[in-house]
Amino acid sequence: MIINSQEIEYRNFYRDFIQSKKPILIKSAFKPNTLNKIVTDKKDKIKPLYSRGAAPFLYTYFDDSTIRNYVFNLPIIKCLLDNPNTQFREKMRLWHHNKGNISYFHYDQRSTDLLNICLSGSKQWLLLPPDAPLKCWPFYNIALPFQRKKKKQAISLIMEQGDLIYIPRNWFHQLMTLEHNTKNINLIFNDLTDNQMATRERELTSIKRLFIPNYIYGDNIAMLNNTIDSVPILKTLARLFRELLPIFIFIFITIIFLSIQAVTLGTIAINTIILKQIS
């Protein structure tokens, strides 16, 4: 859903979108020039995790009171902060990409909701709900390549400078950067009234509990930890088997392939020796 900032009731945003877990792109949600200046002035304090090409690919989480105070006072975000049913992380993440960069289909772990604001440039977001039948890499949150028929069903949204997007927990999303020098800030928060978790995420976390008894999930939200505790041991073991199965199959096929190669090379070597002896 796309809506202009003038058409939205900020005080009803939690009820209309967060509680119903509806993704939404809000056009012209804030004036980016002031925030861009603040971020530029603070750039020496925001250290990149690693770089790609001429522009940093990923800035790590940062905690700066000046940036946080400005962002947290944007009307829509302030209304959410004032709501007793939300819990925001103070640390944020600044992304800086150039045109053509793609973050392939994945969902954010730890069952957190996400707000993303665009400081400059533009991106295309492709969204699929948590129950989309996308298969992921074993024990990981990134979807396997191909699966084109399923991915074609994604909702497509174009985010531009000054826009804000809300991504509900466990929704799959893929991003393509459309312009050079595109900057975004992530804000991560929890909806304290919602104990729903995607089935796979819940069962993967229950596997961690098998091996790390005191493992604390996400931001230690009690109702989510209770949801994980309620997963039956048989479902946990079944999930463990399903995640391990493709790994075992890959190892088995690799062993067979290497064995055939070894036998073939050995046969060639023996034949070579025999031919030399005959000659």
pLDDT tens figures, 104-129: 999 998 889 999 999 999 999 999 99
Confidence at 79, pLDDT banded by 50, 70, 90? very high
**Better-predicted residue by pLDDT, 46 or 102:** 102
pLDDT of residue 274: 81
Report the length, in residues, of the chain.
Answer: 279
pLDDT of residue 222: 85
State the average pLDDT over residues 216-244: 91
State the average pLDDT over residues 58-68: 81
Percent of the chain with pLDDT over 70: 95
- pTM of the predicted structure, to 2 decimals: 0.88
State the average pLDDT over residues 180-208: 92
Most confident listed range (109-113, 154-158, 216-220, 268-272) = 154-158
**Better-predicted residue by pLDDT, 7 or 136:** 136
pLDDT of residue 234: 96
Residue 42 C-alpha from the chain's centroid: 26
Give a three-class secondary structure readout of the chain.
CEEEHHHCCHHHHHHHHHCCCCCEEEECCCCHHHHHHHHHHCHHHCCEEEEECCEEEEEEEECCHHHHHHHHCCHHHHHHHCCCCEEECCCEEEEEECCCCEEEEECCHHHCEEEEEEEECEEEEEEECCCCCCCECCCCCEECCCCHHHHCCCEEEEEECCCEEEECCCCEEEEEECCCCEEEEEEEEEECCCCCCCHHHHHHHHHHHHHCCCCCCCCCCHHHHHHHHCCCHHHHHHHHHHHHHHHHHHHHHHHHHHHHHHHHHHHHHHHHHHHHHHC
State the average pLDDT over residues 77-92: 92
State the average pLDDT over residues 7-29: 89
Domains of the chain, by residue range, sit at: 2-191, 195-279
Question: What CATH class has 2-191?
Answer: mainly beta
State the average pLDDT over residues 88-108: 90
Lowest mean pLDDT among 72-76, 141-145, 179-183, 270-274: 270-274
pLDDT tens figures, 236-264: 999 999 999 999 999 999 999 999 999 98
State the average pLDDT over residues 175-201: 92
Confidence at 9, pLDDT banded by 50, 70, 90? confident
pLDDT of residue 99: 92
176 phi/psi in degrees, rounded to 5: -120, 125
pLDDT of residue 272: 82
Confidence at 5, pLDDT banded by 50, 70, 90? low
Lowest mean pLDDT among 23-27, 82-86, 262-266: 262-266
How much is the mean pLDDT over the chain? 89
Check pLDDT > 60 for residue 140.
yes
